[in-house]
Amino acid sequence: MAKTEKPQRLYRILDFTRVVQIFEKKELFFASPNSWDDPYEKRIKHSKVNAVFAQCWSSAPISDAMWRIYSHNGMGVRVSTTDSKLRAALKSSAKLKNYQFRVAEVSYYPQSELDWKAKKIGQDLNEAFKISRAIDALYMKRQAFDHEKEWRGTLYAKSVDLLQEHKGFTVPVDPHNFIDRILLDPRAPDELVRAFKFFFQEHLGFEGNVQRSALYKSPDQIEIEEILADQL
């Protein structure tokens, strides 16, 4: 019997309002990589660029850097799921004609190696264009970003209206099944934590765990008894 692979846990820190939208609209939003900040995500130009949509997750359960980057004023909320649940959601949407999907880990490279790999993808695409090969570029990043421990879910079509710029694509999900835990910013004040927990549990009916991250929880104090010099 083949060994069953253990699901990879994935995490994403979003603003509170965006998490609420997932529950109320029952959908995930996949953005066009053209809207991302990193210019290296957009270095390979091709005619089907408007047919690609992606969403970023992280395999790092505890990261001070990620809280500081993606959570502002204590309003960040970390949702968690698994790669298998993300694949299932994309597989359902991929049933639409001519859509394919990929869920995989991002690899990080030194600048020179990344440049070489990107040029190689460009050469391959010029010889015989395959959108799946173009998607390979979205799973490579510079080492400066390796603290993200990133995974990506990508949905791409072989044919779209190329004259229209698509800013995003929505994928339907059951948020109560897709999201299994909600973690609040470790810097959030008690009042905000109570308000968020009440909203998720009582208003939205989320039955999973909702709590503040213990990243900044004070450890047990270690007290040192000073010995006076004249006692030595």
What are φ and ψ of residue 34, in 5° steps? -65, -20
Q: At which residue do the structure tokens 């850097």 appear?
A: 65
As to burial, measured by CB atoms within 10 angstroms (0-12 exposed, 13-18 middle, 19+ buried), residue 193 is middle
**pTM: predicted TM-score of the whole model, two decimal places:** 0.88
- Point out the least confidently predicted range of 63-72, 104-113, 214-223: 214-223
- Point out the least confidently predicted range of 28-32, 160-164, 215-219: 160-164
Q: What angle do CA 209, 61, 82 make, to 5 degrees?
A: 70
Strand (E) or helix (H) holding 87: helix 83-94
For residue 163, name the pLDDT band (cuts at 50, 70, 90): very low
Q: Give domain limits for the chain.
A: 9-231
At 9-35, the pLDDT tens digits run 999 999 999 999 999 999 999 999 988
* Alpha-carbon torsion (12, 135, 110, 107), positive or negative: positive
